[in-house]
Amino acid sequence: MTKPVPIRLAAVAAAAGCLLLAGCSSGGSGSVGSSFPTTQGSGQSVGVTTYPVGQRSTLPDISGPTLDGGQLSLSSLAGHVVVLNVWASWCGPCRQESPQLARVARSTAARGVRFVGIDEQDQTSAAQAFATQAGATYPHLVDQNGSTLASLRLVPANGIPSTLVIDRDGRVAARVIGPVTASTLSGLLKPLVAQQ
């Protein structure tokens, strides 16, 4: 005979499932599947959202120090398709995602696609080691206090990892909340790269 599951245990299991769907939160890790539904609009659910040209919003000109000791302003990449990825070395799903992002960055660089990471509330040495191991040689903005992430209205505060794909006019063409695969990202970039 099967014993009934106590209500408290069921509530804990449900809460754990919600955390897994949310990806990482500050200082923790989670796991999100790599297959996402694609939607159109501006909701904040986990998955891929694409925005038709007339519904694309512009981002603030985020800028600041980078992991390699330089400075970067998003406006310096005007005219390029840009992939903006929010990550952290303490984020479990980022470990699977980051090498895939690095691969797509290398394969699309000659077509004018630029990648920028936003490293969230991390230790510099851990973040540098993480980026090196992933092969993510593109610049990474350092966001020690979360203010850069907070300025990205399309990404929730606990949306780590998340990715924004920005068209050549500086408008958000797609958003992924949760880890993105190389094939999904390549598919999102293809129509933007084709537009001249």
What angle is formed at CA 99 by the lines to CA 114 and CA 56, rounded to 5 degrees?
A: 40
φ and ψ of 147, to 5 deg: -70, -35
CATH no., domain 7-194: 3.40.30.10
Instruction: Return mean pLDDT, the chain.
Output: 82
φ/ψ region of 142 (left if φ > 0, alpha if ψ in -120 to 50, else beta) reads beta
Over 50: is that where the pLDDT of 25 sits?
no
Run of H or E including 64: strand 63-65
Percentage of the chain beyond pLDDT 70 is 76
| Reported pTM | 0.79
pLDDT in tens, 67-111: 999 999 999 999 999 999 999 999 999 999 999 999 999 999 999
